[in-house]
Amino acid sequence: MGRRTLLGTLAAGIAGFAVAPSVQRGWEGFLAAASQHDPTGLTGLLPDPGGFRYYSVVGSVPQKDDTDYALRIDGLVDRPHTYTLPELRALPQTRLVRDVMCTDGWRVDSTPFQGVLLADLLDAAGVRAEGRALRFTCFDGVYSESLTLEQAGRPDVLVALTMQDKPISHAHGGPARLYVAPMYFYKSAKWLSGITVTDRVIPGYWEGYGYDVDGWLDGADRGAA
């Protein structure tokens, strides 16, 4: 896409700011596509109609679905396991409605996320005595995050399968992303593909650029565990 075409399309997208969910999906898909042609990061400045912004530290992320999505849990556990999407859907689901906040200053109030409690997956895997922390990896091939075992065991930390009561879209990190409700949204790794139990915290992608390893929201926004 040439630059003028891109800007024209952006303008058309803004002019067409409509509320129909199908249009929102189109816009979101457009943001994802445009960001792959926009090394300036311009698309990162465009809000989508839901108030979210599209973030990815890489240009192009493969699409995964029921046929090829896999979530690997390994490291210091007794029972490593690779979950498929149907397997994850068959486990008990928890729904949380909290405010999403990015360190860039935008927030989206009362956003429902639903999925499997991370604590349940860790119980099933059997964390060994030496386990202290988790390292999360993503099928974008680059992003990573971490939590201590104590943080990961909270009842407001999910491997989320739905966002706003719909399957998580590709742009928002589907088919499964981490959702760490009490922390800034950078902790909620999109396109989640690996959870490794480690003996210490291995700082994630943004932490390498100075972000806090502990991304707690302020008390008022954190909510009850």
Ligand X SMILES: Nc1nc2c(c(=O)[nH]1)N[C@H]1C(S)=C(S)[C@@H](COP(=O)(O)O)O[C@H]1N2
Residues of this chain that bind ligand X (CB under 6 A): 52-57, 102, 138, 140, 143, 172-173, 185-186, 188-191
Lookup result for tokens 């108030």? 51
Find the residue with minimal CB distance to ligand X: 143
Distance CA 188, CA 173 (A): 9
Q: Does 186 bind Mo ion (CB under 5 A)?
A: yes
Nearer to ligand X, 30 or 186 (CB): 186
Residue 223 identity: G
Residues 37-66 that bind Mo ion (CB under 5 A): none
Q: Which two tokens stand for residue 153?
A: 């065991």
Nearer to ligand X, 68 or 199 (CB): 68
Q: What is the DSSP secondary-structure string of 178-212?
A: EEETTB-GGGS-SSEEEEEEESS----TGGGGT--
Per-residue burial over 17-31, b = 16 or more CB atoms within 10 Å of its CB, e = otherwise? eeeeeeebeebbebb
Please report how close the Cβ of residue 173 comes to ligand X at its closest, in angstroms: 6
Please report how close the Cβ of residue 188 comes to Mo ion at its closest, in angstroms: 9
Q: Does 113 bind Mo ion (CB under 5 A)?
A: no
> What's the DSSP call for residue 169?
P
Lookup result for tokens 């009842």? 155
Nearer to Mo ion, 136 or 186 (CB): 186
Q: Which does 135 bind (CB under 5 to 8 A by kind): Mo ion, ligand X, none?
A: none
Nearer to Mo ion, 77 or 101 (CB): 101
Q: Which two tokens stand for residue 44?
A: 């990162």
Nearer to ligand X, 131 or 174 (CB): 174
Please report how close the Cβ of residue 78 comes to ligand X at its closest, in angstroms: 28
Q: Which two tokens stand for residue 46?
A: 């465009």
Q: Which does 136 bind (CB under 5 to 8 A by kind): ligand X, Mo ion, none?
A: none
Residue 55 identity: Y
